[in-house]
C-alpha cells in the first residue's frame, strides 16, 4: 500500500496518489496531470479511479484530462450532476484498488455532492479518510460556496448532520487527509498541518465539539470573508468541462519577438509579468501587471484577471511553462505567448521601461511629519486592517483595485505609500495603480510586518493609538 500526499503550497491544495497491487487512484487531481501519470508509470501501476470529493471552486481539477489519458473512471458522490461521463457513487459504495477498499461516505454541507472516501487497508481495517472540504485540520469547509439555491444556513445544517453521523463515529486512530491546508479560502481558519487524525480533530476542532445544530450553524456561518471572485467560475468549469491543458500549452508556449509582442498588446492583450515582486519594481515593460510566481500567484491571478482577457507573459528565463501551468490551474487559459529573452531583451533593445520606487519603513517614518500630501494605502484585507494599521491610512484591499470606481477614492495628487502585510501584494497593487495612471508611488518593503516595528510611525490598534518608541 502506498498513500502519497501531493501538496501545492500556492493553492494550499492536496491531491493524493493511492496504489496497491498494480492499481492506483488519484484523489482531487490538479489540472496538470502528467505528474500523476508519471508516478503510476514509474511504479508499474494503472490508474483505475479518479475520486473527486466535490466540485472544487478554488482550482480547476484534472479529472477530465486524466480520465482521457488513462481510461480511469471519474467518481463523484451522490447528487452529482456533471456535463461529462462520471460514475455517481451511492452512499456507502465500495471501490477496490488492488487489495485496498475505498468506501464513499456522502457528507453534504460544503456542497451538495461533497463526499469523503474512507480507505480500508489490506487487512480490511479502516486506515484513513480523504475528507475533501468537509473536514480540515482545525476547521470545516465553508457552506457559502455556490451549491444550488440553498442558503449557507441550510448547507451548514447539512454539514452538522454529516459530521455527527459520518465523521464523529469513526475510530480515533483514522488518519485525516483533507483537500486543503493553511491559507485556503475554502475554510475560515485552517490549522498549520495538512493531515491529522479523527481523535485529534474530535479533541481540538471547534466544529466537532458538542453543540446543538443551531449553535453549529451560527459558528460556521459567522466571520466568513467574501470568497475570491474566481470561485464560482472554477466551480462551473469543473462541472461543465474545459479545454485540454495540452491545447493551453500549444497556444501559450510561443516565444514572441519584441515586434510580435508589441503587436499582441496593440491587439488588446494584457502584459502579465511573473518575475519575483522584488525584481519587478526595479524595471518592467510599461503597462505590465505584476503577479509574481514567488507568492500566491494563481490565486491572485484568478482574483484579478478577467477570464476572457488575452495575455502575453514576461517571465524569468525557464519559467514560461510554470507561469502558464499555474494560470491554467485556476482556469485562465488565454495566454498567447511570452516575450522572448524576457525583460532583459526588452531593456537591451532600448524599449521604454517603467519602475516602482521601493522604500524601507524608516523612510516612511521620516516622511510622515514633513509631507502634507503623503497618503498611506493599505491593500490588506479589511480584517487585517482592523487588527492594526497606520494612523490615517486608507484601506483599499487588493482585490478591489481592478475596478476604476474603487480606485477613484485615491487622490492622484497625493504621494502614495503602498503596503500590504509582507511586500508581495503591494507590488501587485502598485502595478495596477500604474495602469490606472497613478505615478506618485512608493512601495513600502516588508509591509506592515516591518512597519509596526519601526519607531515613530503612529499605529491604530483595536483599542488604542500607539506610537512606536
Tens of pLDDT, residues 133-179: 999 999 999 998 866 688 999 999 999 999 999 999 999 999 999 99
Q: What local confidence, expressed as pLDDT, does residue 469 receive?
A: 32
Identify the CA nearest to 249 among candidates 302, 304, 327.
327
- Distance, in Å, from the CA atom of 35 to the CA atom of 30, rounded to the nearest integer, reads 9
Q: Is 301 helix (H, G, I), strand (E, B) or coil?
A: helix
Instruction: Label residue 10 by pLDDT band (50, 70, 90).
Output: confident
Contacts from 389-395 at CB under 8 Å and sequence distance 24+? 389/448, 389/459, 389/460, 390/419, 390/448, 390/451, 390/457, 390/458, 390/459, 390/460, 391/458, 391/459, 391/460, 391/465, 392/458
pLDDT digit string (tens) for 400-418? 999 999 999 999 999 999 9
In order of 112, 326, 407, the CA distances from 340 in angstroms are: 46, 20, 33
* Cα angle, residue 127 at apex, residues 124 and 128 outer, rounded to 5°: 135
Instruction: Determine the average pLDDT of the residues in 60-87.
Output: 96
pTM of the entire structure?
Answer: 0.92
How confident is the model over 275-318, as pLDDT tens digits?
999 999 999 999 999 999 999 999 999 999 999 899 999 999 99
Q: Which domains does the chain have, with CATH numbers?
A: 2-233 (3.60.15.10), 243-354 (3.40.250.10), 357-467 (3.40.250.10)
**CA–CA distance from 393 to each of 38, 381, 459 (Å)?**
51, 13, 9
Each residue's pLDDT tens digit, 193-248: 999 999 999 999 999 999 999 999 999 999 888 888 899 999 999 999 999 999 99
pLDDT at residue 468, as a whole number: 41
The pLDDT tens digits for 354-366 are: 999 999 999 999 9
Residue 280: CB atoms within 10 A of its CB come to 26
The stretches of 47-121 forming alpha helices (DSSP H) are: 63-70
- The single-letter DSSP state of residue 377 is E
What percent of the chain is predicted at pLDDT more than 70?
Answer: 98
Amino acid at each position: 500500500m502506498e498513500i502519497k500526499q501531493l501538496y501545492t503550497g500556492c493553492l494550499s491544495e492536496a491531491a493524493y496518489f493511492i496504489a496497491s497491487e498494480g492499481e492506483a487512484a488519484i484523489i482531487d487531481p490538479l489540472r496538470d496531470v502528467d505528474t500523476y501519470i508519471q508516478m503510476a508509470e514509474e511504479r508499474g501501476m494503472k490508474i483505475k479511479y479518479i475520486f473527486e470529493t466535490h466540485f472544487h471552486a478554488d482550482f480547476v481539477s484534472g479529472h477530465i484530462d486524466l480520465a482521457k489519458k488513462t481510461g480511469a473512471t471519474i467518481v463523484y458522490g451522490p447528487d452529482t450532476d456533471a456535463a461529462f461521463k462520471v460514475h455517481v457513487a451511492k452512499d456507502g459504495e465500495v471501490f477496490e484498488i488492488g487489495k485496498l477498499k475505498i468506501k464513499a461516505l456522502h457528507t453534504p454541507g460544503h456542497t451538495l455532492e461533497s463526499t469523503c472516501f474512507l480507505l480500508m487497508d489490506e487487512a480490511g481495517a479502516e486506515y484513513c479518510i480523504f475528507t475533501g472540504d468537509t473536514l480540515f485540520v482545525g476547521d470545516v469547509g465553508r457552506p457559502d460556496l455556490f451549491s444550488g439555491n440553498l442558503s449557507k444556513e441550510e448547507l451548514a445544517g447539512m454539514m452538522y448532520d454529516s459530521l455527527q453521523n459520518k465523521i464523529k463515529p469513526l475510530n480515533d486512530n483514522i488518519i485525516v487527509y483533507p483537500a486543503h491546508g493553511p491559507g485556503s479560502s475554502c475554510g475560515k481558519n485552517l490549522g498549520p498541518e495538512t493531515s491529522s487524525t479523527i481523535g485529534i480533530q474530535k479533541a481540538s476542532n471547534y466544529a466537532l465539539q458538542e453543540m446543538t445544530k443551531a449553535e453549529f450553524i451560527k459558528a460556521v456561518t459567522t466571520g466568513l470573508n467574501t470568497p475570491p471572485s474566481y470561485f464560482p467560475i472554477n466551480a462551473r468549469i469543473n462541472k461543465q468541462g474545459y479545454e485540454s491543458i495540452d491545447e493551453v500549452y500549444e497556444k501559450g508556449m510561443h516565444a514572441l519577438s519584441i515586434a510580435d509582442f508589441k503587436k499582441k498588446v496593440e491587439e488588446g492583450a494584457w502584459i502579465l509579468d511573473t518575475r519575483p515582486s522584488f525584481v519587478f519594481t526595479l524595471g518592467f515593460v510599461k503597462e505590465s501587471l505584476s503577479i509574481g510566481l514567488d507568492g500566491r500567484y494563481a490565486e491572485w491571478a484568478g482574483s484579478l484577471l478577467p477570464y476572457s482577457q488575452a495575455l502575453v507573459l514576461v517571465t524569468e528565463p525557464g519559467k514560461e511553462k510554470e507561469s502558464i501551468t499555474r494560470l491554467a490551474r485556476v482556469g485562465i487559459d488565454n495566454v498567447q505567448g511570452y516575450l522572448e529573452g524576457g525583460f532583459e531583451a526588452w531593456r537591451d533593445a532600448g524599449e521604454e521601461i517603467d519602475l516602482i520606487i521601493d522604500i524601507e519603513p524608516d523612510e516612511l517614518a521620516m516622511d510622515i511629519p514633513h509631507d502634507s500630501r503623503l497618503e498611506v494605502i493599505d491593500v490588506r484585507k479589511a480584517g487585517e486592517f482592523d487588527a492594526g494599521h497606520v494612523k490615517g491610512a486608507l484601506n483599499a484591499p487588493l482585490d478591489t483595485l481592478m475596478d476604476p470606481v474603487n480606485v477613484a477614492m485615491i487622490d492622484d495628487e497625493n504621494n502614495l505609500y503602498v503596503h500590504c502585510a509582507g511586500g508581495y501584494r503591494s507590488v501587485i497593487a502598485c502595478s495596477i495603480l500604474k495602469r490606472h495612471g497613478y505615478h506618485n508611488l512608493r512601495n513600502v518593503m516588508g509591509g506592515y510586518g516591518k512597519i509596526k516595528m519601526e519607531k515613530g510611525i503612529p499605529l491604530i490598534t483595536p483599542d488604542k493609538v500607539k506610537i512606536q518608541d
